[in-house]
Amino acid sequence: MTLVHDLTDMLESKRQEITDWMNTKRQQVPIPIYGSVDIRDAGWKIGVVDANHFPAGFNNVSNDDKPALAELLSNHIHREYSDCSWVHLYPESHTRNKGYIENISALKELLLLGGFKCTVGSLEFEDIGHLMGLSGPLKIDHVESKNLEGKDVLVIDGAIPDLVLLNNDLTDGLIDGIADLSVSPPPSMGWHRRRKSQHYQVLQGYVDEISEILGIDSWFLMPKWFVSKDKCLDKEACRIELAAEVDTFLESLQEKYESLGIERKPVVFIKNDRGTYG
C-alpha cells in the first residue's frame, strides 16, 4: 500500500471541494500557458521537487492526445491574446540535442494544429537553416532584433509576430528584441531572476491549504527543505559549513521518520537555487 493508494478514496470524496479550491486559485493568480513538475513518490510520501516554466517533452504526447492539447493551447492563447494568429517559438540553443529539437517540432505541430501560423528561431541561430530532430529536419526561420519606431522587437523573415512563445529558460538573461512584444510565459519567470526557494515558499502555502481540506499533515505532500545562504563550494570552509547544516537537517528528518514508524534513512539532495541543471 502507498500514500497515493491510501488517498484515492479521500481525494474522490473531496473532489468538489478540491475543484472549488482550484477554481478560486485560478482566479487569484495568472495561469501560465504551460509548465511541468517533477514528482517523487517514496511510497509513504509524494511531492513536487521541481517546477519547469519552459518545459520540454511535447514529443512524448500521443497522436490521440494532440487535437485536445492543441485546442487547449489555442484557447489559452486566444483568451490572453485575442487577435493572435502568428506565434513565434523561441527555443533553447541545444542544437545537438535531437530529443529537444523533436520537442520543438512537436510544439510547432500543436500550434499549427491549433490554427496558428508558427515560426521557429532565435538570434543564436543566425546562420542555421534547419536543425535535425529524431524524425527529421526542423526549419529555422531568420530572426533579427530591431528598434522600430522606438520599440525593441523581433523581426522574423521581415515581419513581427503577434506572440513570442518562450521555450528558453533565460539563464543568461533577457533576450534582445522582446521588451515591447507580447511574450509568454513572462520573461520574469526566467532563471536570470527566479529562485527555487521562492517557488517552495509559495508552494508551501498551497500545500498547507489542500492538506487541510484532505485532513492530513502537509508533510506527506511537501519535501522538507532549507536554504544555505552565501556559500562558495569552491572553498573548503564553505563545504564544511554546508555539511554541518545538512547533518542537522538529517537529524530532524530522522526524528520525523521515527515518529511515523518509517524504517528508512532520510536523504538530502543539494541543489543550486537557480538554473535548469542545479
pLDDT (tens digit per residue) in 124-152: 998 888 999 999 999 999 999 999 988 89
Other C-beta atoms within 10 Å of 126: how many?
11
> CA-CA distance, 84 to 94, in Å (whole number)?
28
Helix (H, G, I), strand (E, B) or coil at 233: coil
- pLDDT, tens digit, for every residue of 66-119? 999 999 999 999 999 999 999 999 999 877 899 999 999 999 999 999 999 999
CATH 2.60.40.1840 fits 58-189, yes or no: no
Strand positions, DSSP E, the chain: 36-41, 46-52, 86-91, 117-120, 130-132, 137-139, 143-148, 151-156, 163-167, 183-184
48-52, 66-70, 137-141, 271-275, range with the lowest pLDDT: 271-275
> CA-CA distance, 193 to 7, in Å (whole number)?
36
DSSP character for 181? S
Residues in CB range of 151: below 8 A, 6 or more apart: 179, 180
Residues in CB range of 22: below 8 A, 6 or more apart: none
> CA-CA distance, 125 to 101, in Å (whole number)?
13
Cα 78–chain centre separation: 21
Give yes or no for residue 194 having a pLDDT over 90: no
- pLDDT, tens digit, for every residue of 149-179? 888 999 999 999 999 999 998 888 888 999 8
**Angle at alpha carbon of residue 123, lines to 122 and 125, rounded to 5°:** 70
- pLDDT, tens digit, for every residue of 200-209? 899 999 999 9
Q: pTM value?
A: 0.87
- pLDDT, tens digit, for every residue of 12-47? 999 999 999 999 999 998 889 999 989 998 888 999
**What pLDDT was estimated at residue 13?**
93
**What pLDDT was estimated at residue 138?**
95
Q: How confident is the model at residue 277 (pLDDT cuts 50, 70, 90)?
A: low
Q: How confident is the model at residue 224 (pLDDT cuts 50, 70, 90)?
A: very high
